[in-house]
Amino acid sequence: MCRMCDSLGGTAEQPWYKNPKNFSNRMYKLREPGKGPQMAAGGNAEPDAGDQRASPFAQAVEAKANGDADTFNKIISDMNARASLRPGCQVVPLHEVLDVLDLGMPVAAMQCICRKETRACEECSLKEYTGLGLGTGMLKWERWPERYRGKVEFLSSKQAKEFVEYWDKKGFMHMLMQEGGDFIGGMCNCDYPDCLPIRQRIDYGLTAQLLKSEYVCFVDWEKCNGCGDCLGRCDFNALKYEATMEKAHIDQFQCFGCGLCETACPRNAIEYRDRKKISGLARVW
């Protein structure tokens, strides 16, 4: 199992995001006067996100730009070590997301913080929202940090499923976010150009912040006719067109199991397999 299941009550049969207790946070727990919320396991908090000069990631970006490989590798190694001590985010394919939406009520559509930070694009209506807030944390969304604040649109389970199916067709992968050390706070529908966790993992090697899904995708070459409908939907450089076979091919070591290729295939030629049951991939998270 991945560390998310180890720390949040997942099992070999039921991953952490299907454990109902993970959708109710600590909002009803009383704290002693004068004490703030406990931090998630993992040690000291990161420097103020507003002070970009103090951010370890900003320092890593600068070191890489300056060609200082030793400093870059040390910073990234230290960030991965800290991130590995606490839960983070995990890619989840559409068919699992639909199950989660039956567990994670209330659900509300909201703006994407990554798109706001990377492109200065502020989503202001249901037609624009790409993120979802899940669970009882949505009952106090107005108390969230200022950068997340804005109008939200509460959805029924049926509406929420239609919402993620719409973005899946658009080519947006799905990612569940653990919050506060003990509950699921939301779900992103995003893509490589905009998503900070994806970019940080693919471009900078921050492997511990975003975990691959419980699945790996495989192509059934007997069914694949090389139509190419799946091409261009992979955010992780795992899907290629093999000219020698004239069929799609997936590099399972690169595959995050997001399933965007599977939902685009008109011939059902792509299937999911349990990552934990494949010896060479069972620890490739």
**Number of domains forming the structure of the chain:** 2
pLDDT in tens, 35-63: 655 544 433 344 444 444 568 999 999 99
Is pLDDT above 70 for 201? yes
Q: Over the chain, what is the mean pLDDT?
A: 85
More confident residue, 141 or 203: 203
Q: What is the pLDDT of residue 150?
A: 66
Q: CA-CA distance, 56 to 19, in Å (whole number)? A: 33
Q: What residue type is assigned to position 11 of the chain?
A: T
Q: What is the pTM of this model?
A: 0.84
Question: Which contacts of 67-76 are long-range, i.e. CB under 8 A and separated by 24 or more positions?
Answer: 76/204, 76/205, 76/206
Residue finishing a domain among 156, 179, 211: 211
What does the pLDDT average to over 197-215?
A: 93
Is pLDDT above 70 for 107? yes
Is pLDDT above 90 for 263? yes
Q: Are residues 174 and 251 in the same domain?
A: no
Q: Are residues 272 and 169 in the same domain?
A: no
Within-domain flag for 43: no
Q: Are residues 144 and 9 in the same domain?
A: yes
Q: Are residues 219 and 178 in the same domain?
A: no
Q: Are residues 241 and 181 in the same domain?
A: no
Is pLDDT above 90 for 13? no
Within-domain flag for 64: no
Pairing assessment for the beta strands 210-211 and 173-179 based on DSSP bridges: unpaired
pLDDT in tens, 90-104: 999 999 999 999 888
Q: What is the pLDDT of residue 182?
A: 64
Copy the structure tokens of residue 30: 């009383």
Largest CA distance in the chain: 68
Within-domain flag for 119: yes
Q: Are residues 94 and 191 in the same domain?
A: yes
Residue numbers of the domain that contains 223: 215-277
Within-domain flag for 68: no
Q: Are residues 155 and 16 in the same domain?
A: yes
Give, in order, the Cα–Cα distances in Å from 35 to each of 7, 39, 47, 139, 264: 24, 12, 20, 22, 50
CATH number of the domain encompassing residue 233: 3.30.70.20
What does the pLDDT average to over 220-234?
A: 95
Tokens 């295939």, residue? 265
Residue finishing a domain among 211, 233, 254: 211
Q: CA-CA distance, 90 to 2, in Å (whole number)? A: 10
